[in-house]
Amino acid sequence: MNLEQLESTAKAMAAPGKGILAADESTPTIGKRFDQINAESTEENRRTYRDMLFTTEGMENYISGVIFFDETLRQSTVDRDVPFSKHLSDLGVVPGIKVDKGAKELAGFEGEKVTEGLDGLRDRLKEYYDLGARFAKWRAVITITEEAPSFACIDANAHALARYAALCQEADIAPIVEPEVLMDGEHNIEASFEVTSEVLSSVFEALVRMDVYLEGIILKPNMVLSGYECSEQASVDEVAEATVSCFMRFVPAAVPGICFLSGGQSDIHATEHLNAMNCLGTEKPWKLSFSYGRALQQPALKAWGGDPANVENAREAFLHRAKCNGAATTGDYTKEMETSE
């Protein structure tokens, strides 16, 4: 285990002014995104779309890392036939890979899930390292209802995240640890705070027990929000204060960066919340950044529409969102940025 390399990778992913592009949609998920623009989800179309994002001039100024799906890590750029992982590495962008096999029903706990994929992971990580991946991602999902989450669900997912992280570091791959508390539901921000606290506490206890090197990981969590169906939605400032307060209590200072997921927020809301956190006077021991999928890609996807004639417009839309979120990592985002470009 190369601790120096792990720490260097994690710090590069949490560089000021930059964040992570989550381009790891599974084939069914990206198929649904393509359905929205009436584009056929063929392997070549998926390659063309991701090539459009990865070859956007200047993206490396705002994107520190890209999470691939297995198919994408094996693909190359359209024009020069350079493996995507090498193309990004040459730009100083760290290539990564989604390694979990998805959230499945947790036996005995109706409506709750546990993420699978540990079987054979050691061998897959070795192959992914050889293909150029230097970090990995594993997502766990926690649901809030009147009955959930159960302790069993939180514990099972924390244990899986810790075992995954330990296997990654054994392979000199920096793990992104992603415990996502879903914001679907009518719960208020107080309930979100409570459950997120329980999850973070359990996850870091499990990581420590598995002797995971915390300086060599990135945390990818949810923000502390009101449930999307809640009648009283917390303000941007309330979300920022609740989120930072929660993470100050439960995330060790050894962790280099917290790269939030957007979790169904609108692209602008995700940017505003991140910016507000970085504007708080609280002295934070870790970098607060982003690891967004839809919140970075949706405007570009709509602008592209599957039409080659729209590629440059789509690249401009992608670069704009990346630039706005990059500014949010240092608290320099303003609403004027949305209208001035």
What's the pLDDT at 1? 87
Candidates 178, 180, 215, 272; catalytic one: 178
Q: Say whether domain 3-340 belongs to CATH 3.30.365.10.
A: no
User: Given its phi and psi angles, is residue 306 left (phi above 0), alpha (psi -120 to 50 degrees) or beta?
Assistant: left
Q: What is the dihedral of CA 264, 116, 132, 316, to 10 degrees?
A: -10
Q: Which contacts (CB < 8 Å, 24+ apart) does range 77-81 have?
A: 77/51, 78/47, 78/48, 78/51, 79/55
Summarised one tens digit per residue, pLDDT across range 104-144 is 999 999 999 999 999 999 999 999 999 999 999 999 999 99
Look at residue 341 and tell me whether its pLDDT is greater than 70.
no
**Amino acid letter, residue 254:** A
Question: 186-208, pLDDT tens digit by residue?
Answer: 999 999 999 999 999 999 999 99
Q: Report pLDDT digits (tens) over 6-53.
A: 999 999 999 999 999 999 999 999 999 999 999 999 999 999 999 999
3-state DSSP call for residue 271? Answer: helix
Place of tokens 């024009």: 79
SS3 assignment, position 259: strand
Q: Where are the domains of the chain?
A: 3-340
Pull the structure tokens for residue 224.
Answer: 């502390």
**Residue 226 pLDDT greater than 80, yes or no:** yes
Of 134, 149, 212, residue with least CA distance to 177: 212
pLDDT in tens, 76-96: 999 999 999 999 999 999 999
Give the pTM.
0.96
Rounded to whole angstroms, the Cα distance separating 194 from 252 reads: 18
Residues 51, 72: contact at Cβ < 8 Å? no
302 belongs to the catalytic site:
no
Kindly provide the residue ranges of all beta strands, DSSP E only, lying in 25-134, ordered along the sequence: 63-68, 94-98, 103-105, 113-115
Mean pLDDT of the chain: 97
Consecutive H or E run containing 133: none
- In total, the chain counts a number of residues equal to 341
Q: Residue 86 catalytic?
A: no
Cα distance between residue 56 and residue 311, in whole Å:
10
Choose the catalytic residue: 18, 113, 137, 220. 220
